[in-house]
Amino acid sequence: MIDVTRRIDVAASPEEVWAVLSDFGAISGWASTVDHSCLLTTTAEGVGTARRIQIGRTTLVERVTDWQAPSRLSYRLEGLPPVVRSASNTWLIEPAAAGAGVSVTSRIDAGPRPPQQIIARVVGRRMAQASDRMLAGLAERLR
């Protein structure tokens, strides 16, 4: 299992950041790589809330596993290739000098064997790139 973390500071309050992140079905409005997003559940917030996202030809379901307003949001990614046992993202929002510090940590488990660890690192690099783009889109949205 590997963890990859990306972080930025934004000139917005933690509550303003939370308002964007917690509008769970609307990620396509600020994450440039997400072509389409929609809620799959009747609830729009809290553990168990799920959304469908479309990135090019890839469709994923993201299901909330931790919801601690206004500081922490975690979700499991479903629909990745079977070589990935599990993948998740955890967003943390903390007060910072000029607004809020926002980080996203991707956790990837492809298995314990060395070839599986290589797969986890490759997937981790791709998820880190996606996290960088999401953080940039979030910062742009909050301007």
Here the CATH number for the domain that contains residue 46 is 3.30.530.20
Cβ of 35: how many Cβ atoms within 10 Å? 13
Instruction: Compute the residue count for the chain.
Output: 143
Cα–Cα distance for residue pair 9/98, rounded to 1 Å: 8
- 47-81 per-position pLDDT tens digit: 999 999 999 999 999 999 999 999 999 999 999 99
Find out whether 122 and 112 touch, Cβ atoms under 8 Å. Answer: no
In which domain, by residue range, is 18 found?
2-141
Q: What pLDDT sits at residue 20?
A: 97
Find out whether 61 and 76 touch, Cβ atoms under 8 Å. Answer: no
Q: What pLDDT sits at residue 127?
A: 96
- 105-120 per-position pLDDT tens digit: 999 999 999 999 999 9
Q: What pLDDT sits at residue 93?
A: 98
Cα–Cα distance for residue pair 11/38, rounded to 1 Å: 28
DSSP one-letter code for 19: H
Over residues 85-89, the mean pLDDT reads 97
Strand partners of residue 93: 102
What is this structure's pTM? 0.95
Find out whether 102 and 14 touch, Cβ atoms under 8 Å. Answer: no
Q: What pLDDT sits at residue 122?
A: 95
Q: What pLDDT sits at residue 59?
A: 97
- 13-53 per-position pLDDT tens digit: 999 999 999 999 999 999 999 999 999 999 999 999 999 99
Three-class SS of residue 48? coil
For the chain, the domain total comes to 1
- In the chain, the amino acid numbered 98 is A
